[in-house]
Amino acid sequence: MTNRPDFLESKIIDVEWGIEVRVVKPCNLYGCKIGDHSFIGPFVEIQEGAVVGRNCRVQSHSFICSQVTVEDDCFIGHGVLFTNDKFTQGKPSYDEDTWQKTYVGSGTSIGSGATILPVRITSNCLIGAGAVVTKDLTEPGVYVGNPARILRKA
C-alpha cells in the first residue's frame, strides 16, 4: 500500500453575488458576499462571513478571512493578507469566539503584500505595499511601514 494524498479542488460555493461580478479562477470563495461590479482575481480566498462591497477589485493571491468587511470602491493589491486572530495565547486560536473583526472603509486602497490585523480603517486611506496595519487608522491619509504609520494626511 502506498501513501497517497487527498487532492482537493478549489471551490466557489454559497456566495451571495452582486450584479456583473467578474471572477478569475481558480479561487476559494465560500459563504461570503461580493458586491455589484467587483472583480476577484485568481488564487484569492474569501472566507465565510467576509463581505466585499461594490466596485471593488481584489487582486491575485489575496486572503480575506472571516469577519472582514471591505466597503465600496476599494482596491486590494496582490498578496494582501487579512487576519482575524491576534495569537493572544501565543499560538493560533481555533475558537472563533476569540477572533476579531476588521473593517475597511470605502475608497481605501491597500498595496501589494500588506498585512492587515483586526483593525478599523477609515475611508479614503492609501496603505503602502508591504505595510503591516496593527492599529486602527482613524483619519484619511497615506500609511506606510511596519507597523503602519501615517506618512501624510489626505
Q: Check if the beta carbon of residue 77 is closer than 8 Å to that of residue 61.
A: no
Query: What residues does each domain of the chain span?
Result: 12-88+97-153
Cβ–Cβ contacts within 10 Å for residue 136, how many? 11
pTM for the model stands at 0.94
Per-residue pLDDT of the chain (154 residues; tens, 9 = 90+): 678 999 888 999 999 999 999 999 999 999 999 999 999 999 999 999 999 999 999 999 999 999 999 999 999 999 999 999 988 889 999 888 999 999 999 999 999 999 999 999 999 999 999 999 999 999 999 999 999 999 999 8
DSSP 14: S
Cβ–Cβ contacts within 10 Å for residue 14, how many? 10
Domain 12-88+97-153 - what CATH class?
Answer: mainly beta
3-state secondary structure of 132: strand
